[in-house]
Amino acid sequence: MRYLITGGAGFIGSHLADALVARGGEIVILDDLSTGRRENVDHLVAAQQAELVEGSTLDSGQVTKLMSDCDACFHLASPVGVRLVVDRTLESVLQSVRGTEVVLETAALQRKRLLFASTSEIYGKGDGRPLAEGADRVLGSPMVPRWAYSTAKSIGEILACGYARERGAEMVVARLFNVVGPRQRGDWGMVLPNFVRQALAGEDLTVFGDGSQSRCFTHVTDAVDALVGLLDADGAMGYAYNVGHHEPITITALARRVIERAGSPSALRFVPYEEAYGDGFEELGHRRPDCSALRRLTGWVPSRTVDDAIDDAIAYQRSALAQVTR
């Protein structure tokens, strides 16, 4: 199989490329490198196991050409991180909606199977109860950047499921819950890599709000296994599936766990949301996935813990720091 991965030089995309190569696949990566990095896939390109094309999903001609040379597509290209969405709301929404429209329409016309990577942001605010795929979305005002992003991703889901149900396209949606691990960067507000960076530097870890908000963090290796399984599953087409760990952890507890596992002298520093993101920012509370539909379809269950993800993120950043200081 030959796969097109949009956003394949990013954190999740590069791990996906590794997994597909490991099972004998040929990889073409389309990435504008706005948040992805060449070094994430240099090892694959050097071994001639992947081709990296620097370009945009907005370029329909380029997408058409690359799609025609592939058997299937993982559409991961998207703005990432709360900070990016808040700071560049218009750019993020336009990029997400227009790029997704181009990629999905091209895959439908060429009859190529496609997985659209969506987000748990779809659900909006949560109270900690497990969220099944059919759960109601609880969103704030579209004037708030966070909800604009959620709406943009929901349009992608609507397109993917619409093409599948109304035009017979083979498309499936994966709703990813807080994927973490090595290669993830904290530039745009990702909490775990930021905590690890601060802990390794001996700085106080910055916790926004009171730290009682909780998430279910999913190791990137488990997430990639789920993505591959969904694209392979004939019965998945036309539906959305949650991909996430079942065990929630508060952000304060996560910070303390990072300090402990890094052997760091750091303490915690609590920063109000309005100081970090400006007036009008809304926190989500608690968000927990119900992944029983995915389990029934593919047998997938996460096999790695949040401690595994923390340890791998620490090892990755320590290795990167060692290379810089040589």
128 CB-contact burial (10 Å; exposed 0-12 / middle 13-18 / buried 19+)? exposed
Encode 54-66 in three state secondary structure: ECCCCCHHHHHHH
Q: Which residue has the tokens 């017979």?
A: 168
Sign of the CA dihedral with 101 first, then 106, 108, and 113 last: negative
Read off the tokens for 19: 């997994």
HSE value, Cβ hemisphere, 13 Å, CA-based, for 301: 6
Whole-angstrom distance, CA of residue 117 vs CA of residue 227: 8
Whole-angstrom distance, CA of residue 170 vs CA of residue 173: 11
Give the length of the chain. Answer: 326
Active site residues: 149
Read off the tokens for 91: 């750019």
Read off the tokens for 231: 């694209």
